[in-house]
Chain A
Amino acid sequence: GESVGLHLPTLSVQEGDNSIINCAYSNSASDYFIWYKQESGKGPQFIIDIRSNMDKRQGQRVTVLLNKTVKHLSLQIAATQPGDSAVYFCAENGKYGGATNKLIFGTGTLLAVQP
């Protein structure tokens, strides 16, 4: 089935600490995964993506880890800053019917950075 939104978990961290946000995905056939950041009053903003033929991918201050065995994704943010405060969503694109763009989103995690 498709993921649905439930109670939003919250991760509270101190400025300068590293943050780890976790996500479980539902479709074992999905082979493309994306992390989005959504600030209040804005649409989701692309952070980083990963294909299923990779276990890890790094960006600027962010790293995504993929564990296909347990269908788990994580987003690591280094040296978390107040501007990182937002809701973070993982999304999977199961390649439904070819080159379609049907993203299935996780519940989301609220990251609160304490100064």
Chain B
Amino acid sequence: KAGVTQTPRYLIKTRGQQVTLSCSPISGHRSVSWYQQTPGQGLQFLFEYFSETQRNKGNFPGRFSGRQFSNSRSEMNVSTLELGDSALYLCASSSGTVYTDTQYFGPGTRLTVL
């Protein structure tokens, strides 16, 4: 069974631009969660999508948004990029039916904002 895939793996953008990251969950999984990982703040929850609906949201500004498609693939978008948005963005998938389902992470997208 294929794991969680994320594209692209690396991105370089400049301040003010916007970026879209993509995540394909494990086949059959309906929940996709996004996390930001930085050396200073560690791993922080951004949001979770289940059956095309945002089910939970972390404490990030509105510049961070996401969506989920009917095939459970998810995208997250960051608008008006700031230097502090440089991070590893991880997505995780699970069945989403109970909160004790294991979440499986993808390799991440490394975003660098110049």
Contacts and interface: CB of A to CB of B under 8 A. Distances in A.
Interface string B13-46: 0000000000000000001010100111111110
A32 B94 CA distance: 15
A5 B41 contact: yes
B45 A104 contact: yes
Interface residues of B, number: 34
Contacts, number: 88
B104 interface: yes
Counting contact residues on chain A (CB < 8 A from B), the size range is 20 to 34
Interface of B: 4, 31, 33, 35, 38-45, 48, 50, 55-56, 58-59, 90, 92, 94, 96-108
10 contacts: A4-B44, A5-B38, A32-B99, A43-B107, A46-B103, A46-B104, A93-B99, A99-B97, A103-B43, A108-B43
